[in-house]
Amino acid sequence: MHYSIAQLYELAKPELVVAIDALGAPTPSRYWPALCRWAAVLRAYPPSLGWVSTVSAEVIDLKLSDTAKTVKFSAELRNPSGTTIANATHVALIRETQDWERAETNARGDLAKALGYPPNIEALAQPLLAADVLPESLPEADTVRPLGEQSRPHPAVVPADGQAERKAELVATIDAKPTGATIVPPQPEAPSSYQLSLSNGVAAATLTQIYAFHQAQQLGPVPVFETQEAAKAHLKGLRRPARGAT
């Protein structure tokens, strides 16, 4: 399923997370976490309709560290007929279980990007926001039906004041697919599906921010939260020292 940048931005906006720097301080940038992007992919290409996604791993002969294994994670999406329609690879250094879980999440995030779900969707949408090209209203997320259930395509979002060419260029920037194995810089740690299940009822975006702070500040394991309010209170406490340091 192909969304315009405007539609993707509206879809991602509730899930955008503030990026933090190496010292744990918030930055002006926001990104769309891999877990949230992968959930959007599964809604667009549902396993219940025969779509199959896989992540495989193999140790490769690439000496990047004396204390860790170099592992290539390969993610792909196949349609109900078994044809691969997108794939991506992610190379990571594996020292412990958390490294493996994080690398699998990043591999799925790379596949989501190849399918047109980029982490930097807000940055891509900024020129449209500045030019006031984004439409006033878009289809609700639950009205966008998965591929295979579409009775007709969604109407194109038509930009005003001759911005069509500019918008087409922006759309093209998220269509490129990664080729070959790429060394990806470390990203903020995201909670695994198992860890999400422990804090049932807590938004994935909130947990992702908490994990990012814990990773950057080396705070140790993330506690299990019984409610969203408890998770938000913990996140507020994490932000307080970062703000005081700026």
Q: Each residue of 59-74: pLDDT tens digit?
A: 998 888 889 999 999 9
Strands (E), the chain: 17-20, 26-31, 52-59, 69-78, 84-94
Q: What is the bridge-based pairing of β-strands 69-78 and 84-94?
A: antiparallel
Report phi then psi at 168, rounded to 5.
-60, -40
**Confidence at 178, pLDDT banded by 50, 70, 90:** very low
Question: Which residues are bridge partners to 68 per DSSP?
Answer: none
Query: Which tops the pLDDT comparison, 66 or 170?
Result: 66
Length reported for the chain: 246
Looking at the fold, whether 83 and 24 belong to one and the same domain comes out as yes
Domain that holds residue 242: 188-246
Q: So what's the pLDDT on residue 146?
A: 39
Distances (CA, A) of 102 to 9, 129, 166, 180: 25, 33, 36, 20
Q: Is the pLDDT of residue 49 over 90?
A: yes
| Beta pairing, strands 17-20 & 26-31 | antiparallel
pLDDT band at 149 (very low <50, low <70, confident <90, very high): very low
Residue 239 backbone zone (phi > 0: left; psi -120 to 50: alpha; other: beta) = alpha
- pLDDT at position 182 is 42
Whether residue 179 is found in the same domain as residue 193: no
* 3 state DSSP class of 87: strand
**What is the CA 59 to chain-centroid distance, rounded?**
25
Same-domain status, 160 and 234: no
Residue 197 and residue 160 share a domain: no
Which of 110-114, 221-225, 231-235 bottoms out in mean pLDDT, i.e. has the lowest? 221-225
Residue 116 sits in a domain of what CATH number?
A: 3.30.390
> Looking at the structure, do residues 66 and 173 belong to the same domain, yes or no?
yes
> What are φ and ψ of residue 164, in 5° steps?
-60, -45
pLDDT band at residue 2 using 50, 70 and 90 as cut-offs: low
Asked if 141 and 198 sit in the same domain, the reply is no
Pick from 167, 187, 207: which residue ends a domain?
A: 187
Pick 169 or 111 by higher pLDDT: 111
Both tokens of 138, joined, read 């878009």
Whether pLDDT at 223 is above 50: yes
Kindly report the backbone phi and psi dihedral angles of residue 134, in degrees, each rounded to the nearest multiple of 5, phi listed first.
Answer: -60, 135
Is 114 a residue whose pLDDT tops 60?
yes
Percentage with pLDDT > 70 across the chain: 63
Q: Which of 125-134, 164-173, 188-197, 232-241 has maximum average pLDDT?
A: 232-241
Average pLDDT on 92-113 reads 94
Average pLDDT over residues 29-34: 92
